[in-house]
Amino acid sequence: MKKTVLFLSILGLLSACQVKVQQETDSPLIGKNLLTLSSDIMSPEVLWSFGRLGDVQVSPDGQLILYGVSYYSIEQNRSNRELFVMNSDGSEKVQLTETPQNEFNAIWHPDGEQIIYISSASGSLQAWLMGIDGSGKTLISDVEGGITGLVFSPDGTKVLYTQEVQVDKTTQNLHPDLQKTDGRVINDLMYRHWNTWEDGAYSHVFIADFDGTISDGTDLMPGEAFDSPMKPFGGLEEVAWTPDSRGIAYTCKKLGGVEYTFSTDSDIYLYDLESGLTSNLTEGMPGYDRVPFFSPDGSKLYWHSMERAGYEADKERLFEMDLANGEKRYLTPDFDYSPFGESWADEGENLYFVCAVNSEHQIFKMNVKTTEITALTEGMHDYHSAVPAGDRLIATRVDMSKPQEIYSVDPSTGEATELSFENKHLLDQLTMPRVEKRWVTTVDNKQMLVWAIYPPHFDKSKKYPAVMFATGGPQGVLGQFWSYRWNMSQMASNDYVVIAPARRGVSSHGQLWTDQVSKDNSGLAMQDLLSAIDDISAEPFVDQERLGCVGASFGGFSVNWLAGNHEGRFKAFISHCGVFQEEMMYFTTEEMFFQHWETGGAPWEKDNPVAMNSYAGSPHHFVKNWDTPIMFMQGEHDYRIPYTQGMAAFNTAQMLGIPSRMLFFPSETHFVLSPQNGILWQREFKGWLDQWLME
In 3D, which of 658, 602, 610, 662 has the Cα closest to residue 631? 662
The per-residue pLDDT for 115 is 97
Calculate ∠ Cα 420-421-426, nearest 5°: 155
Q: Are strands 239-241 and 247-252 parallel, antiparallel or unpaired?
A: antiparallel
The single residue of 537, 575, 670, 674 carrying the catalytic annotation is 670
670 is catalytic: yes
* pLDDT digit string, tens, across residues 385-401: 999 999 999 999 999 99
Specify whether the backbone of 593 is left (phi greater than 0), alpha (psi in -120 to 50) or beta.
alpha
**pLDDT tens for each residue of 89-146:** 999 999 999 999 899 999 999 999 999 999 999 999 999 999 999 999 999 999 999 9
Query: Out of 359, 518, 553, 618, which one is annotated catalytic?
Result: 553
What sign has the CA pseudo-torsion 533, 537, 538, 544?
negative
Least confident interval from 19-28, 40-49, 543-552, 638-647: 19-28
By C-alpha distance, which of 91, 117, 61, 99 is closest to 1? Answer: 91
Q: What is the pLDDT of residues 270-307, one digit of tens each?
A: 999 999 999 999 999 999 999 999 999 999 999 999 99
- What does the pLDDT average to over 544-569? 98
Residue 434, phi then psi, degrees to nearest 5:
-95, 135
The answer to whether the CB of 70 falls within 8 A of the CB of 109 is: no
Give residue 4's pLDDT: 27
Q: Is the dihedral of CA 284, 286, 292, 293 positive or negative?
A: negative
Residues 6+ apart with CB under 8 A from 280: 267, 268, 269
Query: Once rounded to an integer, what is the mean pLDDT over residues 592-608?
Result: 97
Q: Which of 515, 508, 455 is nearest to 480 (CA)?
A: 508
Three-point CA angle 318, 322, 323, nearest 5°: 120
Q: In whole angstroms, what separates CA 99 from the centre of its chain?
A: 26
Residue 554 has pLDDT above 70, yes or no: yes
Compute CA 293 distance to the chain's CA centroid, rounded to the nearest angstrom.
Answer: 21
- β-partners of residue 506 are 476
- Catalytic, 566? Answer no
- Averaged over 482-493, what is the pLDDT? 97
Tell me the C-alpha distance between 586 and 608, whole Å: 15
Cβ neighbors of 424 (< 8 A, separation 6 or more) are: none
CA 611 to CA 625: how far, in whole Å? 24
Query: Above 70 in pLDDT, residue 26?
Result: no
| Nearest of 483, 526, 548 to residue 614 by alpha carbon | 526
C-alpha span between 311 and 115 (Å, rounded): 39
Q: How confident is the model at residue 550 (pLDDT cuts 50, 70, 90)?
A: very high
Residue 395 CA to residue 415 CA, distance in Å, equals 12
501, 500, 497: which is closest to 465 by C-alpha?
497
Is residue 474 scored above 90 in pLDDT?
Answer: yes
Q: What is the arithmetic mean of pLDDT over 155-166?
A: 96
CB-CB contact of 578 with 559 (8 Å): yes
pLDDT tens by residue, 342-368: 999 999 999 999 999 999 999 999 999
CA 74 to chain centre: 22
φ, ψ of residue 34 in degrees (nearest 5): -90, 100
Asked if residue 339 lies in contact with residue 316, where contact means CB atoms within 8 angstroms, the answer is yes
In 3D, which of 341, 302, 344, 345 has the Cα closest to residue 323? 302
CA distance linking residue 109 with residue 59, whole number of Å = 9
Q: Do residues 392 and 409 touch, judged by C-beta distance below 8 A?
A: yes
Question: Between β-strands 267-272 and 158-166, what pairing exists: parallel, antiparallel or unpaired?
Answer: unpaired
Q: What pLDDT does residue 8 have?
A: 26
Q: What share of the chain is helix, strand, coil (3-state, %, to 5)?
A: 15, 35, 50
Short-list 545, 536, 404, CA closest to 51: 404
Q: Which of 289, 495, 515, 638 is catalytic?
A: 638
Helices marked H in 355-428 — which ranges? 424-427
- For 29, what's the count of Cα atoms within 13 Å in the CB-facing half-sphere? 18
What is the pTM for the complete model shown? 0.94
- Of 70, 215, 67, nearest to 147 by C-alpha is 215
Cα 660 from Cα 560, distance rounded (Å): 13
Which of 462, 695, 487 is closest to 571 using CA atoms? 695
CA nearest to 476, candidates 449, 439, 503: 503
pLDDT at 635 exceeding the cut of 70: yes
Q: What is the C-alpha to C-alpha distance for residues 255 and 223, in angstroms, rounded to an integer?
A: 14
For residue 46, count CB atoms less than 10 angstroms from its CB and return exposed for 0-12, middle for 13-18, buried for 19 or more: buried
**Predicted pLDDT of residue 269:** 98
Long-range contacts of 114-123, Cβ-Cβ distance < 8 Å, separation of 24 or more: 115/66, 115/83, 115/85, 116/140, 116/150, 116/152, 117/83, 118/147, 118/148, 118/149, 118/150, 120/146
